[in-house]
Structure 1
Amino acid sequence: MAGEDGRDSVVVGVDGSNKARLAVRWAAERAAERSLPLHVVYGYGLVARYFATEAPVPPSVIETLLEEAQTLVESAADEATEVAPGLAVSVEAVDEPPVPALTHRSRKAALVVLGASGLGGFTGMLAGSTAVAVAAHAHAPVVVVRCGEGRTEPPSTGPIVVGMDGSSLSDRAVACAFDEAQRRSAPLVAVHAWADVEDESVLRRARMFFTNSPEEKDVRAELDAQLGDWQAKYPDVEVERVLVRDRPRRQLLDRSETAQLVVVGSRGRGGFRGLLLGSTSQALIHHAQCPVMVVRPPKGDEG
């Protein structure tokens, strides 16, 4: 998927936090895999910091903040080249809030990478507001780098797991997942779980006790059809198909414990029109045990 449609870099957002440092290291590896430069962005939003006062910001404060911002992005660049020597890295510290800064720069990005939470997050917050908002609005796939319990680094082994539901957005997620699996010589686990309802009728609950029903055969045929073309394009990728009557987020969260990446569309087939992030993608951003890639629909097709 790298380099398509003029997308010419991997963008990583930083803020000086340890989670952002992990995101920089992960992003550097992905940029090197793609032979793309890495662009480090820090949206420090000076104006937003002083929105509650009409008093002018002292020049000395502005100068200090600019120096700190430049030091922060240069430190991130050093971290990136430590991971991937020879990687082309550019840096940018901009006086914009981080969400619009990263969303704007996602237009030309192959991938946008963020830490799970930043310095501004409340204690105990599972994922930062920046990560959630960028995943909801970006023009490129967004990866939220999560490590999981008991880890200090994101996992580098295990399968690539992709959630499927037969939708066109799901197909975009499958394409990204196959690409990631081939780049890393990793197996792909394609999960289609289709009991994503809170309350089921007596008839539907009864169906869950039977296998090979007409409904299951239809879902399996849909899964086979969606995977077929991609398996032909990526013949070296080992694929495991998982067809299960369960809630998608529960299946994907469970499988994130042994995966190195989970890939999902920003919303599922059952989501409301205009919904930017579905319940499954939000659950993964907050709770997954590995990095999560959220794939967005093409701009103009969000509804």
Structure 2
Amino acid sequence: MGNLVVVGVDGSPSSLAAVGTAAREALRRRAELRVVYAFSLPVRPMYTPPDPAPLERLVGEAAQHARSVAPGVQVTEAVLTGEPVAVLEAESRGAELLVVGPRGVGGFIGMLLGSTAVSLATHARCPVLVAREEPAGAGPVVLGVDGSPAGEKAVAFAFTEAELRGTEIVALHAWLPEYAPVGTGVEAPERLLAEALAGHAESHPDVTVGQEVVSGETRAMLVDASRTAQLVVVGARGRGGFAGLLMGSVSQALLHHAHGPVAVVRGEA
């Protein structure tokens, strides 16, 4: 992955908020920001392609907004033909972060959260941050921990993000005692949480880490924690996920219901 943040835009207030979020992320990372508008051409006889001038103006305005939010960040622009999810998935191959809004219009017509954001979080080759129109608060980075091997990259991403933001991590592991294996006690989930964080705290000594083991359903616990978080970080597919499923129920629920921005990190390279 390169020193690049990519943001998808379409002229909606949702995507403009994503541009602001992406600009701040690029500034933290000392990365270049690439603003991308993608649109599909309907397949029908005698179709006249759209005038590129308004599209280029839209992208230019988004890029100017990024420069106003984060002066000094190098911003490039692109208007690309193709199905938006496919275009942004391709863009993600050279990026360290892809930022999108939760819903949109224009190039993303008909793609509400559940298709655009979920599809990208499922297939993008880098972490995907789904912004919200409301500014993120000043709370901690909340990290959902399940102890799965696929979740290790989410842990690493959360530590890096907390360090870049100058804030603490609240590492949360939710479990349902009635479903625990026979013979395990409270120490089992606490040990799982500690082992998942081992090594990362040592490599990020300036990041304060709080560990919380809570009894309850994971999705509900993380959605509730998102109320006071400036970012929630989860893996794309956690422990117990079926082999053919790239997106788990927890990450999907957060994309739909979290009260603030959510970063989904795939375990695969």
TM class, shorter-length: over 0.9
Is 1:79 the counterpart of 2:65 in the alignment?
yes
2:219·2:250 contact (CA, 8 Å) conserved in 1?
yes
2:224 aligned counterpart, secondary structure: helix
> What aligned pairs does 1:107-146 form with structure 2 within 5 A after superposition?
107-119=93-105, 120=108, 127=113, 129-146=115-132
Match of 2:144? 163
CA apart distance, 1:146: 2.1
Give the RMSD, CA atoms, in angstroms: 1.9
CA apart distance, 1:11: 0.3
1:244 aligned counterpart, secondary structure: strand
Is 1:190 the counterpart of 2:171 in the alignment?
yes
1:154·1:291 contact (CA, 8 Å) conserved in 2?
no
CA apart distance, 1:45: 1.5
Match of 1:205? 178
The residue type paired with residue 30 of structure 2 is S
Alpha-carbon spacing, 1:234–1:68, altered in 2? closer, same or farther (3 Å): same
The structure 2 residue matched to 1:56, chosen from 46, 56, 59, is 46
1:273 aligned counterpart, secondary structure: coil
CA distance in 1, matches of 2:15, 2:192: 39
Deviations 1:237-292 (A, max 9, x none): 11110112211111100000000000000011111112111111001101100100
Deviations 1:36-90 (A, max 9, x none): 00001111112xxx22x2x1223xxx252x1121111111100000001121000
Is 1:250 the counterpart of 2:220 in the alignment?
yes
Is 1:26 the counterpart of 2:26 in the alignment?
no
Match of 2:54? 68
The structure 1 residue matched to 2:261, chosen from 268, 291, 297, is 291
Which TM-score applies when normalising by structure 2? 0.93
2:66 aligned counterpart, secondary structure: helix
1:146·1:288 contact (CA, 8 Å) conserved in 2?
no
The structure 2 residue matched to 1:259, chosen from 223, 229, 241, is 229
CA apart distance, 1:8: 2.3
The structure 1 residue matched to 2:185, chosen from 181, 191, 215, is 215
Is 1:37 the counterpart of 2:32 in the alignment?
yes
The residue type paired with residue 193 of structure 1 is A
Is 1:177 the counterpart of 2:183 in the alignment?
no
The structure 2 residue matched to 1:92, chosen from 72, 75, 78, is 78
The residue type paired with residue 57 of structure 1 is Y
The residue type paired with residue 97 of structure 1 is E
Alpha-carbon spacing, 1:68–1:220, altered in 2? closer, same or farther (3 Å): same
Alpha-carbon spacing, 1:81–1:168, altered in 2? closer, same or farther (3 Å): same
Q: Which runs of 5+ in 1 are unaligned?
A: 1-5, 148-152, 196-203
CA distance in 2, matches of 1:192, 1:207: 13
2:151·2:267 contact (CA, 8 Å) conserved in 1?
no
1:77·1:90 contact (CA, 8 Å) conserved in 2?
yes
The residue type paired with residue 178 of structure 2 is R
Percent of residue pairs identical? 43
Q: Which runs of 5+ in 2 are unaligned?
A: none
The residue type paired with residue 260 of structure 1 is Q
1:85 aligned counterpart, secondary structure: coil
Greater Cα radius of gyration, structure 1 or 2: 1
Alpha-carbon spacing, 1:90–1:258, altered in 2? closer, same or farther (3 Å): same
The 4+ residue runs of structure 1 with deviation greater than 3 A are 120-123, 204-208
Which TM-score applies when normalising by structure 1? 0.83
Is 1:229 the counterpart of 2:229 in the alignment?
no
CA distance in 2, matches of 1:63, 1:36: 32
